[in-house]
Amino acid sequence: MSGAGIPRLRLAGISRRYGDIQANDGIDLTIMPGQVHALLGENGSGKSTLSRIICGITRPDAGGIEWDGRAVSFANAAAARELGIGMVFQHFALFESLTVAENIQLALPRAAGGGALTQRIEEVSRRYGLPLDPRQQVATLSAGERQRVEIVRCLLGAPRLLVLDEPTSVLSPAAIQSLFETLRQLAGEGVSILFISHKLDEVRALCGHATVLRAGRVTGEADPRTTSSAELLRMMLGEDPATCLLTPREPGAAVFELRGFSLPADDPFGTSLRDIDLRLHAGEILGLAGISGNGQRELVAALSGERRGGSGSLRIVGEECAQLPVAARRALGFALVPEERLGRGAVPAMSLADNTLLTGARHGLAKAGFVDSAATRERARGIIERWGVRGGGPTALAAQLSGGNLQKFIVGREVGLSPRVLVVAQPTWGVDAGAAQQIRQRLLDLRDAGGGVLVISEDLDELFQVSDRIAVINHGRISAAQPAAATSLQGLGELMSAGTFTRG
Amino acid sequence: MALTLIACFAALQMPPLHALYAIFIQPLASAYGLGEWLLKATPLMLCGLGLSLGFRANVWNIGAEGQLTMGAIAGGGVALYIAPGLGPWGMPAMLLAGMAGGMLWAAIPALLRTRFHTSEILTSLMLVYVAQLLLAWLMVGRWQDPQGFNFPQSRAFDEALILPLLADGQRATVALYGALALAVAAWIFIRHSFAGYTMLVAGMAPAAARYAGFSESRSIWWGMLIGGATAGLAGIAEIAGPIGRLQPSISPGYGFAAIIVAFVGRLHPLGVVLAALLMSLLYLGGEAAQLELGLPAAVTGVFQGLLLFYLLAADHFAGLRLVRRPARAIA
């Protein structure tokens, strides 16, 4: 089906920049009619940005789009829909209190409501094997059924290109199979499909062509059915990473220890933690690799106490902690740099001095119920000077700082508390190279001073640079941690993208 | 806002400047008028200060009117039946009982919110009517003055339990000093206390409050109880002042107007004091408008509504700018 004919969609040199981050950098992509095309890549590799550009939600800074051989540019999502581009989002935007038909009617620009629509929905759902009752209320539907609503909604617009963003992340294995049947049928009728995923086994089962992204660039094109996993992973994850730079050292006592720890997910898009065994020692950096959405968020909340409970054992410096609140865990010497910097790690509308107080109150900044303003300002100024935080001193609002500078401030604040356990999630996301190196060095300093550090990151190069040992989180389970020097990139990559996880 | 009012008066075929003078200047032209102004500002200040502390923490106590009523009932009960036997301790006991009554009424929504995640907006509002009906029931039942010719009101309080006046020839009481002292205390609480800081964080960024380990339920309890205490104090100060006895209607909606006062005062203690003075003037102006200009009583509500409306509109537009953007379509 390739070679001859006019491509349905051709992207040439698409670029898009967000602040300091080049999300898409000169991307070329060609999709033929009736082709099932995979867009492969790690989180943060630019897949979502590219799909938003294709659907007209985001505009590219540079580059051209051709549709059926004709140059086009989309003013908005409606214009893209007009041409026949349909998108099924990873998270559904449905109104719970309305019925299936009402939800679909709302999304169609000028649809006739009532019986005619109900009939068309039934027709489409029968034809493509998507069982759906138009009169049912969305609140009562499972995640798989909700996705069907989204797909039917797209199909009613008679799309010629269907974009699906991580469509299988919320589906059961049986639902995945039936989704694939539907997609194959659509492709047989000439609809092009762009299937965005980071799961190799699924891409291999469905797609005849794959474009691989890494750090905003196309790093390879391949036929996933005939290309080896190792080759695809190399395109996704990059060349051999920097080798481990750490001098091995004797680990100290355990500063936190999870044994047989499980915690059910608290929202439908969350991941349950299952039977986790994980131990972090004093004077050690433990790297946790994994594609985001595999339980990292839940693990951080369970460790910090932002979510309490769970079964099994969770000890911090020897104390059983599963039921203790955040404050009690921090009193034991726990500190956290969360993934969300604004709104969780810092209060956007407060000054850096006031943000120092956020976790510093227990460390001498509040006495007898009153805030020591002078000491707070002094502490903030110290962090700003030591870490070279640019953006206006202790009175500057957190929201005014760039992402990298705010991250330096938050890491500096938490490291400055001399914690016995520091958990850092995505330490260098959106941080420029110099600052990233500085942050990693400070984590190493803390390790050398005897603190235990858990670094959760998707950047494998980074994990190899700073970790003594590395473990992998996948589907809410964590593999046995291996010394970084004895871990191969391929081994990690396969653990990270495995469909079903077996414990090693 | 002034322009809107002028337009309104013009539409009603009244000389606008004369109307504005009658409403906003004339009421303050006498010592008695000044006293009335401060008298009405006092409960607005008390309620507004307490509410603003809660609002900063995203605790939406809409029921200050009910807490004010309960403060009056509890304080009034003490004044009628217990305080006369306590000698010099009668007055403090009565005031404390008023605060306790307001806190008790505020504790109900706080408990429901922290235990069952009930919206405090609804529960506190609904409890307003419970409190008002309770008061009305007492006034025609147990607490009714036996020598009162069957009027629905209690006995008059002892002379010793009536708050002293600020000056002769007017009706404002020393409760004003209490409100001003409370404003200073609230300012210290916000600026310097750690509890005030944690409440502010809880209001601005709930995820950050959880991250730092600040208890959400403590923030809710503090926010509700402070609001309840000040509203209760406003209630007892009102009936131990010019009224001097319990009666079915003790407040022209001070507890609700205080919500506007808190926001017009930008949730800052000094701002609340000034906003309470402004709102009090609107009450007086509304009365003057009825007497002088023959406008209906609803005019006070119109003034209040206009004030809040323009404040919110100004807030909204201060952060926005109209930008012309060239339309681009499919090439």
Contact residues on chain A for B195, CB-CB shorter than 8 A: 369
Query: Would you call A72 and B330 a contact, using CB atoms and an 8 Å cutoff?
Result: yes
The pLDDT of residue A20: 65
Question: Which percentage of chain A shows pLDDT scores above 90?
Answer: 37
Name the CA radius of gyration of chain B, rounded: 22
Query: Would you call B194 and A347 a contact, using CB atoms and an 8 Å cutoff?
Result: no
| B318 domain-assigned | no
Nearest to A344 by CA among A299, A401, A407: A407
Q: Is the pLDDT of residue A277 over 70?
A: yes
Reported as a pLDDT band with limits 50, 70 and 90, residue A248 is low
Contact residues on chain A for B204, CB-CB shorter than 8 A: 347-350
List, for residues A69-127, the tens digit of each pLDDT value.
889 888 888 888 888 898 887 767 788 888 888 888 887 766 556 678 888 888 888 88
The rounded distance, in Å, linking the Cα atoms of B177 and B125 is 29
The pLDDT of residue B320: 66
Phi-psi region of A44 (alpha: psi -120 to 50; beta: other; left: phi over 0): left
Average pLDDT, chain A: 85
Query: Would you call A330 and B213 a contact, using CB atoms and an 8 Å cutoff?
Result: yes
Contact residues on chain A for B213, CB-CB shorter than 8 A: 305, 325-330
Contact residues on chain A for B211, CB-CB shorter than 8 A: 304, 306, 326, 336, 338, 344-345, 358
The pLDDT of residue A475: 86
Q: What is the DSSP string of A140-206?
A: G--HHHHHHHHHHHHHHT--SEEEEESTTTT--HHHHHHHHHHHHHHHHTT-EEEEEES-HHHHHHH
Q: Is the pLDDT of residue A424 over 90?
A: yes
Reported as a pLDDT band with limits 50, 70 and 90, residue A409 is very high
Could you report the predicted ipTM of this complex, rounded to two decimals?
0.78
| B90 domain-assigned | yes
Q: Is the pLDDT of residue A242 over 50?
A: no
The pLDDT of residue A246: 64
Q: What value, to the nearest 5°, has the Cα angle with vertex A103 and ends A99 and A104?
A: 120
The rounded distance, in Å, linking the Cα atoms of A347 and A397 is 9
Contact A316, A256 (CB under 8 A): yes
- Closest partner CB to B331 (pick from A71, A347, A354): A71
More confident residue, A362 or A316: A316
The chain A residue lying nearest B189, using CA atoms, is A370
Domain coverage including residue B235: 40-306
List, for residues B203-238, the tens digit of each pLDDT value.
999 999 999 999 888 999 999 999 999 999 999 999
The rounded distance, in Å, linking the Cα atoms of B231 and B226 is 9
Nearest to A182 by CA among A210, A208, A206, A214: A206
- Closest partner CB to B193 (pick from A329, A346, A370): A370
| B325 domain-assigned | no
The pLDDT of residue B4: 76
| B9 domain-assigned | no
Choose the weakest-confidence range: A6-15, A131-140, A240-249. Answer: A240-249
Query: Which residues of chain A are at the B interface, by a Cβ-Cβ cutoff of 8 Å?
Result: 71-75, 79, 82-83, 304-306, 325-330, 336, 338, 340, 343-350, 354, 357-359, 361, 366, 369-371, 373
Q: What is the mean pLDDT of residues A24-46?
A: 87
Mutate to test the interface with A, among B194, B211, B328 (most CBs of A within 10 A): B211
The pLDDT of residue A3: 45
Q: What value, to the nearest 5°, has the Cα angle with vertex A65 and ends A61 and A69?
A: 165
Burial of A251 (0-12, 13-18, 19+ CB in 10 A): middle
| B302 domain-assigned | yes
Give me the CATH number covering residue B155.
1.10.3470
| B24 domain-assigned | no
Q: What is the mean pLDDT of residues A55-75?
A: 89
Name the CA radius of gyration of chain A, rounded: 25
The pLDDT of residue A245: 58
The rounded distance, in Å, linking the Cα atoms of A457 and A292 is 9
| B8 domain-assigned | no
Q: What is the mean pLDDT of residues A304-323?
A: 91
- The total domain count for chain B is 1
Positions in chain B whose pLDDT score sits under 70: 1-2, 319-331
The rounded distance, in Å, linking the Cα atoms of A329 and A306 is 10
More confident residue, A417 or A237: A417
Q: Which two tokens stand for residue B23?
A: 């409403």
Q: What is the mean pLDDT of residues A38-67?
A: 86
Q: Is the pLDDT of residue A425 over 90?
A: yes
The pLDDT of residue A44: 66
Question: Which percentage of chain A shows pLDDT scores above 70?
Answer: 91
CA distance B191 to chain A (A): 8
